[in-house]
Chains A and B, each alone.
Chain A
Amino acid sequence: MGKPHSSRETGIKWLLTLFALSSLLFLFVIFAFILAEGLPLFVKVGPGHIIFGMKWAPTKGHFGIFPMIVSSFMVTFGALVFGASLALACATYLSEYAGRKTKLFLKPALELLAGIPSVVYGFLGVVYIVPLIREYLGGPGFSILSTSLVLGIMILPTIISISFDALMSVPAGYREGSLAMGATKWQTVYRVVLPAARSGILASFILGMGRAIGETMAVIMVAGNALKIPTSLLDPLRTLTSNIALELAYATGDHRSALFSTGVVLLVIIMFLNLVANFWVKKRTAR
């Protein structure tokens, strides 16, 4: 190997290092610009008035996003109520009860479905779920209930797919040991398999939560976008994400800054969720 060769190798190594650093650079620039646009307003009107403020009238100097924070958490929780148990049951069935052929067919089918654009879920929510709720339960139909249902269905493929992988990675010996001691299939699943896959399942729930809390367009379509804290399941609501998307196109001045402040709050919530999810995933790989 001659010298020109090795200097070319060094050059390539440096280039690849730069490529690898680009992800960090992008992350930094994204944070820098969102914070630079969003933080000054926190300083100007005080963080309490934004985070705990009840009134959103950004052109009149009211920047309270507390109702939106509450709403975001409500529909995310609602999505988990509808989606998580159903998805976990489905994953458990697929990994523990389904035959080989069903598994071979359904797993890829679910992966395909994970790609359905979220706007499609929102659209079908408006066309089918909202009128149903309006007709049979009352209210405008655009509500916590409809939003939770749409988000719950939307996160099904994500949760099913990840918790299925977690369940499948539980060694067969665990199941055999339990069954050999005379436990029924369900006792084995409930007492041995599910606990062994716990951290992976939790991680799938948190990733589902992240998708639900970050979803924007589907939520705008079914949430009704009202500005108060919803007090019943049938009340309309506005989430942090939809607040940004509804007004960004025409906002200027402090109004625009307030949308970036909304983004800052959203970003903090998401980063926290990611840290928790990462922690659980790490614990799993450590075992």
Chain B
Amino acid sequence: MRLNPRWINKLVTWALTFQAVLAVGILVAIILVIFIKGAPHVSLGFIFSYPEDMGRHGGIFPSIVATVLLGLLSLVFATPLGVGTAIFLTEYTKESTFTRIIRFGVESLAGIPSIIYGLFGFIFFVIKLGMGWSLLSGTLTITIMVLPTIIRTSEEAIKAVPNNLRMVSFSLGATKWETVTRVVIPSAMPGILTGIMLSIGRAVSETAAVIFTMGSSLRLPTSLADSGRTMAVHFYILAREGISLEKAYGTALILVMTILIINFVAYYLMNRMVAKYS
């Protein structure tokens, strides 16, 4: 017996719609649960006070500071390296074996799981270089981890800048570097900022690579040599060691909200870039 194709078509349409609703529904449910369960435990006091008794009471202020410091400091290193690499790959060379090798390196870095970054940062920065569990070790590890994101997004953004802008700049007597800094980078800025925002997002949500390089001290980090506990690590420890379900939900809410805002800005900037040149 041969089933009627029209009938199958209807059936499949329903099945696909159902699965799409299910997939999106699960993800929306995750956000909703975090918001509903977390909201009662979040207040200004929770954000601005210090944790007490391993996080059982009090707030998460030192963790927020540690997260912000880790995100911003790793950008200080990763942005020039990443954007510089992207400029080199797009403006200063043609496709060759050399660029293919560099791209292979970038792709490989992007594929390494975060626990391997944790292992590496632990043995290299924490132990061999004697930095200990510190903001500096964490920053350097995360810098390497987010580098591929910045390189890729910046490269895409720079490639999207129309060539005639460069031609006009050259014809006015500008050098390559002048063209890059005054014409190409300003035009590619939204795209580059997207990469930067996505990188902050990764630094904020990372746990495995951070816990073994930055440690998990609950004190407020005041220097590069201090250990610190980012929000993601704090949340992990609260949840894993069953310290406090309420505080875990509260921390999760702040964490998720931070990520959503960061990604929203990144997405907005990317759209502006796309709208500008297509």
Q: Which residues of A contact B (CB under 8 A)?
A: 1, 5-6, 8-9, 12-13, 15-17, 19-24, 26-27, 29-30, 33-34, 37, 85-87, 89-90, 92-94, 97-98, 106, 108-124, 126-128, 153, 156-157, 160, 184-187, 210, 213-217, 220-221, 241, 244-245, 248-249, 259-260, 263, 266-267, 270-271, 273-274, 277-278
Contacts and interface: CB of A to CB of B under 8 A. Distances in A.
A20 B177 contact: no
Nearest to A188: B9
Contacts of A34: 116, 119-120, 123
A33 B108 CA distance: 16
Contacts of A24: 101-102, 105
A215 B119 CA distance: 14
A109 B85 contact: no
Interface string B124-167: 10001000000000000000100110010000000000000000
Q: Which residue, B13, B23, B118, has most C-beta atoms of chain A within 10 A? A: B23
Contact of B109 (A6, A27, A87, A126): A27
B15 A89 contact: yes
B112 A186 contact: no
Contacts of A108: 267
Interface of B: 5-6, 8-9, 12-13, 15-17, 19-20, 22-24, 26-27, 30-31, 33-34, 80-81, 84-85, 87-89, 92, 101-102, 105-109, 111-120, 122-124, 128, 144, 147-148, 151, 173, 175-177, 198, 201, 204-208, 211-212, 232, 235-236, 239-240, 245, 248, 252, 255-256, 259-260, 262-264, 267
B207 A89 contact: no
8 contacts: A13-B92, A19-B84, A115-B262, A115-B263, A122-B239, A220-B240, A244-B119, A266-B115
B256 A267 contact: no
Given A117-B232, A119-B235, A216 B175 contact: no
The 10 closest A-B CB pairs, nearest first, are A214-B113, A117-B205, A19-B84, A89-B19, A93-B20, A16-B88, A90-B23, A184-B9, A24-B105, A274-B111
A136 to B, nearest CB: 19
Contact of B30 (A111, A121, A184): A121
Contact of B256 (A120, A185, A271): A120
B27 A33 contact: no
Contacts of A1: 173, 175
A24 B27 CA distance: 36
A9 B201 contact: no
B256 A117 contact: yes
Contacts of A213: 113
Contacts of B252: 120, 123
Contacts of B30: 113, 116, 120-121, 124, 153
Contact of B102 (A23, A98, A270): A23
Contacts of B85: 16, 19-20, 22-23
Contacts of A248: 118-119, 122, 212
Given A30-B120, A33-B124, 11 more contacts: A9-B175, A9-B177, A23-B147, A34-B116, A89-B23, A113-B27, A116-B30, A156-B23, A245-B211, A248-B212, A274-B108
B256 to A, nearest CB: 6
Contact of B5 (A184, A216, A221, A278): A184
Contacts of A210: 111, 113
Contact of B176 (A9, A30, A116, A127): A9
A217 B206 CA distance: 10
Nearest to A92: B16
Contacts of A187: 5, 9
A213 B111 CA distance: 11
Contacts of A112: 260, 263-264, 267
A106 B105 contact: no
B156 to A, nearest CB: 13
B115 A244 contact: yes
Given A117-B259, A248-B119, A267 B201 contact: no
Contacts of B239: 119, 122-123, 126, 221
A85 B263 CA distance: 26
Nearest to B113: A214
Given A111-B263, A113-B27, A214-B114, A86 B19 contact: yes
A186 B13 contact: yes
B9 A270 contact: no
A172 B8 CA distance: 23
Contact of A156 (B27, B111, B151, B264): B27
Contact of A270 (B87, B112, B147): B112
Nearest to A25: B105
